[in-house]
Structure 1
């Protein structure tokens, strides 16, 4: 399994020009992303016509939300020499694959395991006095061969640094205004009862904002097709977690200077109004967030980025752990913690380790300059 650092792509110009630069830089990784999700649809029995119908439903939602996102996707397709429709599929892959399963009446235990454990350390708990925001991303182990770190130099807003699957516009990340976002899979019985903007595009919208208030608005008020947890923070010293149903967002505030979240609903208000249907796929979620918070609290009152890394490396009850080694998932796919991402918005840097259960080497990516290896994985 590959443990090389994730490729770094830096782009600038108009949306189409940025996309074309992006696609031309990592065409093989983009094609691998297309293969992963295209094969999934093919295995579900989707022919080209059905695939186009499904993808174009979400393309229309994206266009209504912001036509420039489709322009950037057209540029990516042109640069990589692939179909535009396939780039839309990558950017709406959560919705496309899940809706395809629903249309084919797939049972709940066939769902793919899209995990993730995220955390924010507020300045009052930080040894450096600055906010730290991070995440373990659990998904297909093959995505260690498709993910990249993308820097978008913009003329119409703050520059963006995002860890993302190749071909995508954003996943987790930060911007030059000090806004950060990570996200975690959630499910409820409200999913796919309405149209909505793909989650990846909402995350990109957050990273385009020059002020944290508008990042909050993008998360809390944008209609979604399915549930998701989005944790956002600001270099100014605040963070909030939104457990999002398609039509409603439930805020969770910091507790003792920390926010920690995995893949189950926590808000008492949310649990009084909807049903958590995701534990079939990620039953270990109930102790992953507990473990991260426990380890952080045991590390002391003042915490470093190294303390957050150590908590995310936790192997309690492995392989169903905070840090997941590659293993067959319930649906038979190879699942793993694909990456650990640690963001320091005050420094404008993001440290990323691929497959952290197998590898503790981080690379530091920045809003400026070139990537560099980090001397030590943990402090």
Structure 2
């Protein structure tokens, strides 16, 4: 049996929350560092060069929010690792890309191209319960099943939130007590890494700190980025929106027939006139992954359930290049897989997660207010 994703519950000041996080999952934090720090070593970065490189990102993060650095400092102290290594976890896409550029190595062969993902939002008018459903498959390095956690952050300075994230990270996908949810998908274009920007993980964290969707949208659409990303936002009151983000511009996509589905290629008509989609060599299957999820959801009927979304995300059409990806070697020789399926019901304050869903259909239910619960295996 594949073990459930560990649950970490933290509270207090930013530093104290971080310290609790690092102490609770020390081995997983160290595994995260091993996975990404190894890439810098392969590029010829010694300790001094690594410190200088990551120090530049610390300045950008602190300008975006000093409390983020405090929380990372707490994680480092709790896990007994260096602050720079925790910053690296939170800015891994940008750090590795810059490291490659400094060494005159092409950015387009970074491991970030394993970061597939297929996401979906089902609005209340298409939901059998009248409640919004928001979920995704996270496609990435299979080893990250060994680093993933579900983190519940109890805050005194804003809404509590749940996030599925790599240990040592501040956020990935998640939902908060104000009913705001976010998932994200890899995108790529010809503007990537031509400017400095806030690391993507910190933008997602900023979203989860917001009381109102308007400010979550501002965080996604108005924050400069170093590289492209697709970010899907929803509000429990019954609204969803998708932003295809280039580093310096964000293009909104609205629901169609009560749903949004997005994979890893640009689809917005305006975006396609302004940016060049450079991801096709890495994720050519993206063109049918979102089509398959839409097709399966439409075939499930007008009123959709959480089970319907899970079934669509379990799809193995044209496996192993499928919506639900079994572990397989990628072009760089790493094992790539759907690391986890995450399905959120913000009206109920719950998130269900199945690690490595191509070989495991057992979900654990995590809650904003209750303890985790192991669920029965999903139907085949």
Cα distance in 2 for partners of 1:378, 1:259 equals 25
What is the CA deviation profile of residues 241-283 of structure 1, one whole-angstrom value per residue up to 9, with x for unaligned ones?
A: 0000111000000000110001111111111011111122111
Cα distance in 2 for partners of 1:50, 1:191 equals 24
Q: What's the secondary structure of 2:207's corresponding residue?
A: helix
Cα distance in 2 for partners of 1:352, 1:160 equals 15
Match of 1:178 in 2: 179
Match of 1:51 in 2: 50
Match of 1:359 in 2: 360
Q: What's the secondary structure of 1:346's corresponding residue?
A: helix
**How does 1:74-113 map onto structure 2 within 5 Å?**
74-107=73-106, 110-112=109-111, 113=114
**How does 1:266-281 map onto structure 2 within 5 Å?**
266-281=267-282
Cα distance in 2 for partners of 1:158, 1:378 equals 34
What TM-score do the two structures reach when normalised by structure 2? 0.97
Contact 1:3 1:144 in 2 (8 A): no
What is the CA deviation profile of residues 71-113 of structure 1, one whole-angstrom value per residue up to 9, with x for unaligned ones?
A: 0000000000000000000000111122223333444663321
Query: Is 1:61 matched up with 2:60?
Result: yes
What is the CA deviation profile of residues 29-56 of structure 1, one whole-angstrom value per residue up to 9, with x for unaligned ones?
A: 0000000000011112222222222212
Cα distance in 1 for partners of 2:74, 2:64 equals 18
Contact 2:182 2:231 in 1 (8 A): yes
Cα distance in 1 for partners of 2:228, 2:379 equals 33
List structure 1 segments (4+ residues) > 6 angstroms apart after TM superposition. none
Match of 1:317 in 2: 318
Cα distance in 2 for partners of 1:279, 1:57 equals 31
User: Per the alignment, do residues 102 and 378 of structure 1 end up closer, same or farther by CA in structure 2, a change over 3 Å counting?
Assistant: farther
Contact 2:97 2:107 in 1 (8 A): no
Q: What's the secondary structure of 1:197's corresponding residue?
A: coil
Match of 1:207 in 2: 208
**Residue 127 of structure 1: CA displacement?**
0.5
Contact 2:101 2:107 in 1 (8 A): no
Number of positions where the alignment pairs a residue of Structure 1 with one of Structure 2: 378
**How does 1:321-340 map onto structure 2 within 5 Å?**
321-340=322-341
Cα distance in 2 for partners of 1:163, 1:284 equals 25
Contact 1:111 1:281 in 2 (8 A): no
C-alpha RMSD over aligned residues: 1.2
**Residue 192 of structure 1: CA displacement?**
1.2
Contact 1:220 1:249 in 2 (8 A): yes
Q: What's the secondary structure of 1:229's corresponding residue?
A: strand
Contact 1:307 1:378 in 2 (8 A): no
Query: Is 1:152 matched up with 2:134?
Result: no
Match of 1:169 in 2: 170
Cα distance in 2 for partners of 1:189, 1:3 equals 39
Cα distance in 2 for partners of 1:15, 1:341 equals 26
**Residue 369 of structure 1: CA displacement?**
1.4
Query: Is 1:32 matched up with 2:45?
Result: no
Contact 2:5 2:355 in 1 (8 A): yes
**Residue 376 of structure 1: CA displacement?**
4.0
Match of 1:17 in 2: 16
Cα distance in 2 for partners of 1:142, 1:9 equals 20
Query: Is 1:240 matched up with 2:251?
Result: no
Match of 2:192 in 1: 191
Contact 1:131 1:346 in 2 (8 A): yes
Match of 2:262 in 1: 261
Uncovered stretches (5+) of structure 2, i.e. residues with no partner: none
Match of 1:370 in 2: 371
Match of 1:295 in 2: 296
Contact 1:312 1:340 in 2 (8 A): yes
Contact 2:160 2:368 in 1 (8 A): yes
**Residue 378 of structure 1: CA displacement?**
4.8
